[in-house]
Amino acid sequence: MKAYDVAAIRAQFPILTRPWEPPLIYLDNAASTQQPACVIEAVADYHRGQHANIHRAVHRLSQTATLLYEQARERVARFINAQEPAECIFTRGTTESINLVAASWGRANLKPGDEILLSTLEHHSNIVPWQMVAEATGAHIRVISIDDSGELDLDAFRRLLSKRTRILAITQVSNALGTVNPVAELIAEAHAAGALVLIDGAQWVAHGPTDVQALDADFYVFSGHKLYGPTGIGVLYGKRRWLESMSPYQGGGDMIERVSFEQTLYADLPNRFEAGTPHIAGAIGLGVAIDWLSGIGFAAISAHEEGLVGAAVTRLAEVPGLVIQGRPRQRAGVVSWVMVDPPIATLDIGAALDLRGICIRTGHHCCQPLMDRLGISSTARASFALYNQLAEVEALAAALQEIREKAIRGPRQAEHRHLGG
Ligand code: PMP
């Protein structure tokens, strides 16, 4: 294997090669990754010379746009090893994909007394849509707890799994702690109990290979903007037999075979779930991002990222008074912490790091039930991508040491430029 050349990778990201002052250290990748020039160019090229609405016209631009859009779907299918491109529906992102399944599959299949199994680690987007469908159908939500290391309690999972479980909807990676869940095992056990499984792959797909057939996932969802692609585009993968059995989520143009005022015949997959004009440029950009990522290869990417995350855990643990949240055995991309001695609000940590050019995320990370379980209201979170480097981990640890020392020494106001505090 060729040595991983992080400098060559960074050179492909326009935002990373600008002359920032102070130099930019971007560690908010779990919220959104930056885009390489090939993605930015593909989207710009589309707008410059290929744009038209898809699927509807015989003219050359529409045909080109349609071809590019459908090629992007083929790239997505290859990337996650779907059996066929038609099983890959373009959505606005993970959130819309989950809402689609909850509304379309959930409302038709759930009845009073049925159970939807979630976990404490879920992002709000894998909680709220299920609460909405539970309220509408009389189904109940059950929650798999976690242990103190931030890992799923598999005994609790097995206890909760029953004939009443209709669907397990669970994240592959916690966006707040980085915990990697054993999804293959969870899927096999859920299937043995007769339940379907939706995997929230939002935090996984950029970090390791995804094979929906090997996993045997019924639904698998992710967003383009955490995968070096544009915002506003994402994917719902579903096994053909489930998608075919589901009613459309939205009605409109492009999702029909024939409409009259008496009756509408819906189009086949994937169109029946893509009502209206989609984010054509976004899909094209996502397809390019996926091919670019695949060209680098996950063997090299995960080795590099594991080095970064491992170093971050080690170096941050050396900062006195800093408590890392969660100690999962397998962690992807994320390290979260709070500063307890002296106590420094996470928002203040984020603002103080920003003054030093370091972008991290602070808050509940759309995981309030998880924060409740941890007994805190927020964390500071650094999250890593394939373009981060060890020097950035060192800079983060050094900055945290310095922020802590300043807090001990005295008035913190000097650090509060952004917050007016
Ligand atoms: N699930 C997880 C685990 C996430 O990290 C996120 C994004 N933070 C989402 C779902 C929602 O993704 P999006 O906002 O792109 O729809």
Read off the CATH number of the domain in which 154 is found.
3.40.640.10
**421 within domain boundaries:** no
In the listed set 249, 271, 295, which residue is the last one of a domain according to the structure? 295
Centre of ligand 1 to C-alpha 102, Å, is 16
Ligand 1 close to Cβ of residue 379 (< 6 A): no
> CA-to-CA distance for 168 and 154, rounded, in angstroms?
13
Looking at the structure, tell me whether residues 44 and 161 fall in a common domain.
yes
Contact 134, 112 (CB under 8 A): no
**70 within domain boundaries:** yes
Looking at the structure, tell me whether residues 275 and 302 fall in a common domain.
no
Confidence category of residue 418, pLDDT binned at 50, 70, 90 = very low
How many domains does the chain contain in total? 2
> Is 49 a residue whose pLDDT tops 50?
yes
Read off the CATH number of the domain in which 321 is found.
3.90.1150.10
**232 within domain boundaries:** yes
> Is 376 a residue whose pLDDT tops 60?
yes
Who contacts 351 (Cβ-Cβ below 8 Å, separation ≥6)? 415, 416, 417, 418, 419
In the listed set 264, 280, 295, which residue is the last one of a domain according to the structure? 295
In the listed set 295, 314, 329, which residue is the last one of a domain according to the structure? 295
Q: What percent of the chain has pLDDT over 90?
A: 95
Domain holding 164, by residue range, is: 39-295
pLDDT value, residue 419: 40
| Nearest CA among 179, 108, 109 for reference residue 370 | 179
pLDDT value, residue 75: 98
> CA-to-CA distance for 212 and 81, rounded, in angstroms?
6
**420 within domain boundaries:** no
Ligand 1 close to Cβ of residue 179 (< 6 A): no
> Is 414 a residue whose pLDDT tops 70?
no
Ligand 1 close to Cβ of residue 181 (< 6 A): no
Residue 366 annotated to the active site: yes
Looking at the structure, tell me whether residues 80 and 163 fall in a common domain.
yes
> Is 86 a residue whose pLDDT tops 70?
yes
Looking at the structure, tell me whether residues 400 and 254 fall in a common domain.
no
Looking at the structure, tell me whether residues 48 and 168 fall in a common domain.
yes
**134 within domain boundaries:** yes
Centre of ligand 1 to C-alpha 127, Å, is 11
pTM above 0.95, yes or no: yes
**361 within domain boundaries:** yes
